[in-house]
Amino acid sequence: CGLDSASDSELAEVKKSFLTSGSVRGDPVVVSSEQRYSHVTAMRTQAADGQHYTVLFLLTESGFLHKVALLDQGALVIEEIQVFTQPQLVKSIVISSAKGVLYVGTSEGVASVPVARCSVYTSCSQCVLARDPLCGWSRTSSACTGVHGHHHDNMAQDLKDGNVGQQCGGETTSEPVKGNVFLREPS
């Protein structure tokens, strides 16, 4: 695992929080200095271009789920979902690819999170820029929908470049986001 010259404290940390009993070779796919992940699960999916991609679901110790796509150019965090408002001891996370649901099990019960929440993207540009292998803009129904089970010829998706101009046929702007910003005079 590249620990030949590790210090005693580093080895103690590895012993305390190891994730695998076998050796790990190659470069890490996701590195985060800001988050501590407690659980991970993965799924393989076919995108609109016919290529297969890996999507990771990483659960942070603070109760957030990070959905990460392993694209050709590297790992991309697509979405952050708050599973629990209060941190809970998670015992397991399991994906049901058939149902399209991720189950998070705690001592209190089981929470379910859809693996794809395509409907949160309300325009073609939002859908394409998300670069989610599981979501694409259906030109026939004018909605961001799940790629699985749909006819890919009429679906806008560009995981490599997120090229909205090419994919969305001239629709290059998202729906306007309205909100209030309050500024305070410096004292």
Average pLDDT score, the chain? 82
56, 37: one domain? yes
> Using an 8 Å Cβ cutoff, are 30 and 68 in contact?
yes
Write the CATH number for 162: 3.30.1680.10
98, 124: one domain? no
Location of structure tokens 């019960």? 109
pLDDT tens-place string over residues 117-156 = 999 999 999 999 999 999 999 998 899 999 976 667 789 9
- Domain of residue 111 covers 29-115
Q: How far apart are CA 105 and CA 99, in angstroms?
A: 17
pLDDT of residue 97: 85
* Least-confidence region, from 16-25, 33-42, 79-88, 141-150: 16-25
Q: How far apart are CA 153 and CA 138, in angstroms?
A: 9
Residue 15 lies in a domain: no
pLDDT band at 46 (very low <50, low <70, confident <90, very high): very high
88, 158: one domain? no
132, 96: one domain? no
Cα angle: 76, vertex 82, 84; to 5 degrees: 145
35, 100: one domain? yes
In the chain, the percentage of residues whose pLDDT exceeds 70 is: 76
pLDDT of residue 137: 95
Residue 8 lies in a domain: no
155, 135: one domain? yes
42, 100: one domain? yes
111, 163: one domain? no
pLDDT of residue 89: 83
Residue 159 lies in a domain: yes
Residue 179 lies in a domain: no
| Cα Rg of the chain (Å, integer) | 20
| Range among 13-27, 81-95, 166-180 rated most confident | 81-95
Q: What is the mean pLDDT of residues 102-120?
A: 91
Residue 178 lies in a domain: no
Which of 115, 131, 147 finishes a domain? Answer: 115
53, 82: one domain? yes
